[in-house]
Amino acid sequence: MSSERPGWLALALGLSLLLNLFLAGVVSGRLFTSFDPMRQVAARAPSFAMRFRALPLEERARFDAAYEPHRKEVAEARQGLRAARLTALGALAAPIYDPAIMQQDFDALRHATDVAQRAVNAALVEALGTLGQESRVILAGPDR
């Protein structure tokens, strides 16, 4: 009977070690990574850029040529959006929180977002008009 105990003891210690290693992995995984369901959705769905690269070369060239006149306006709108976002983050992190300033910064951010969206949409409307129906189907993706 005493010869059986070391076997059971070794098995119990081995199982305990495996359980502790598993729990340590779970805890460290929670500490060093963040769960973002939108990142998982984005990882499964091909991005617009990936679908764009799947287009024939001549279609991409026509799209780029139509988009080119809008690049400067889109870049400026994106810079304005970034500046408005940084301003709002500055108000959020200020030593003394002022709701009026925060609201003003959110209003400016909303306006900058609208300006950027309108610039991108105008460029896309024109550039997408140069593509054939098959290319537009590819760009629309599987969820169309």
Q: Do 52 and 14 belong to one domain?
A: no
Q: What is the pTM of this model?
A: 0.63
Q: Do 27 and 50 belong to one domain?
A: no
Q: Do 86 and 64 belong to one domain?
A: yes
Q: Do 23 and 51 belong to one domain?
A: no
pLDDT in tens, 63-87: 999 999 999 999 999 999 999 999 9
Q: Is residue 17 classed exposed, middle or buried when 0-12, 13-18 and 19+ CB atoms within 10 A define those classes? A: exposed
pLDDT in tens, 76-130: 999 999 999 999 999 999 999 999 999 999 999 999 999 999 999 999 999 999 9
Q: Do 131 and 72 belong to one domain?
A: yes
Q: Do 12 and 66 belong to one domain?
A: no
Structural domain boundaries enclosing 17: 1-33
Q: Do 50 and 29 belong to one domain?
A: no
The answer to whether residue 86 is domain-embedded is yes
Q: Do 73 and 17 belong to one domain?
A: no
The answer to whether residue 112 is domain-embedded is yes
Q: Do 66 and 96 belong to one domain?
A: yes
Q: Do 15 and 64 belong to one domain?
A: no
